[in-house]
A and B are shown apart, each in its own frame.
Chain A
Amino acid sequence: MTAMPANRQAPTLRLNDEDGKVVDLAQYRGKVVLVNFWASWCPPCRKEFPSLGRVRKLFKPSEFEVLAVNVGEEPDFVFSFAGVTAFPLLFDRDSNAMTAWGVQGLPTTFVIDRKGHVAYRANGGREFDDPDIVSAIRQLLKS
């Protein structure tokens, strides 16, 4: 992952989850949040998806969350792939959030620090329980 310039506020992220409930990134202030933009037809997205669940379980719910933002797909199509997840699935049906976040391609992932700043960005697939990524999240939790 690439470290981002300090104190860059994350764009607004306010989308419906799988139950139609609005989820706002701002409600996670005080936690470190991993925001992953993905689609089920994207091979590297599919490959990294299980690691989102694994990294989620490495941390307490009170300190870390994963938000998986699906881009442009029907919820039924998404559920057939994702099933029940340990983290919220959000739906960016018109890709407006993806555009606001400056995403160039899928998958793209951001790590947001406890103050709501974008700390890291990754273009392309990753394994999120990789020791380097886990270490970076732990460092953010200490700051």
Chain B
Amino acid sequence: MQGSFRIDWGIIMRGPLLGFLLVISLADLPAHAEEPEIVWRHHASHRNVTITANPLSNASRTSFYRGRGFTAESIHSYARSCGFSIGMRNAGSGPITTRLADWRAVGADGREVSIRQPAAWDADWERLGVAQAARIAFRWAQFQSENAFEPGDWIMGMVTLQEAPATPLRLVARYHDSKGNHEIVLDRLACTPD
């Protein structure tokens, strides 16, 4: 590892909040410091497509977005929603596509909840008069409503649910390739309690 910067991976493994805050704190580290690998708490695969997730806390998102121009008041509703950081990789040989509108969270009681689209949040930010720079940061930090993955592509972003389901919940992530529609299920997820 270059320089004197060291990561306590145990912190990340023990708590997603601490892990996420650690990532935020890396914003001041210069580019020559070695970046840590992201430790994902939840993994699932279907064929050569892998999805990973970490729950996001209220505090971590408030800190992240306040650092990018949101006020505590404006980001409050987003930060307290049930949200996850998602990574998705296409290790196959052909392209795939995703639409967040096709994804669902299924609560312990079997009730389905859809994903709140990034455009719906942006409409809130416009109504609240959130600064343009903050809205840009928000927009690109989300898992996009539609994605196209070529072979080798890996895309990461945040997602929020329309409401918090009964936990543990399952996230059903659907994708499309030349053979048709498929789904990957991330099991035993939970919203953070704060």
A residues neighboring B (CB under 8 Å): 1-2, 39-44, 46-47, 49-50, 53, 71-74, 77, 80-83, 85, 93-95, 98, 104-106, 121-125
Contact = CB atoms under 8 A, between A and B. Distances in A.
A81 B38 CA distance: 18
Contact of A83 (B27, B31, B136): B31
A124 B62 CA distance: 25
Interface stretch (B74-82, B122-130, B143-151): B143-151
A125 B152 CA distance: 10
B156 A123 contact: no
Which 6 residue pairs across A and B have the least CB separation, nearest first? A124-B154, A72-B136, A2-B150, A123-B153, A47-B35, A49-B31
Contacts of B155: 104-105, 123-124
Q: Taking chain B's interface residues, is the majority helix, strand, or loop, or is none over half, making it mixed?
A: mixed
Given A81-B27, A106-B140, A43 B156 contact: yes
| B30, B147, B153 interface centre (most CB from chain A within 10 Å) | B153
Contacts of B157: 105
Given A50-B32, A71-B136, 12 more contacts: A2-B152, A41-B24, A41-B67, A42-B156, A71-B140, A72-B140, A73-B137, A74-B133, A104-B155, A105-B143, A124-B89, A124-B152
Contacts of A47: 35, 37
Contacts of B43: none
Interface of B: 23-24, 26-32, 35, 37-38, 64, 67-68, 89, 132-133, 136-137, 139-141, 143-144, 146-157
A55 B156 CA distance: 24
Contact of B137 (A72, A98, A124): A72
26 contacts: A41-B68, A42-B141, A43-B23, A44-B154, A44-B156, A46-B35, A47-B37, A50-B32, A71-B140, A72-B137, A80-B30, A81-B29, A83-B31, A85-B31, A95-B136, A95-B139, A98-B140, A104-B148, A105-B143, A106-B140, A122-B153, A123-B153, A123-B155, A124-B153, A124-B154, A124-B156
Best-surrounded residue of B24, B26, B146 (most CB of chain A within 10 A): B26
Nearest to B133: A72
Residue from B23, B144, B155, B157 whose CB has the most chain A CB atoms within 10 Å: B155
A126 to B, nearest CB: 8
Contacts of B141: 41-42
A82 B31 contact: yes
Contacts of B30: 80-83
A61 B40 CA distance: 39
Most chain A beta-carbon neighbours within 10 Å: one of B68, B140, B144:
B140
Nearest to B148: A104
A51 B136 CA distance: 26
A106 B67 CA distance: 18
B23 A105 contact: no
Contacts of B68: 41
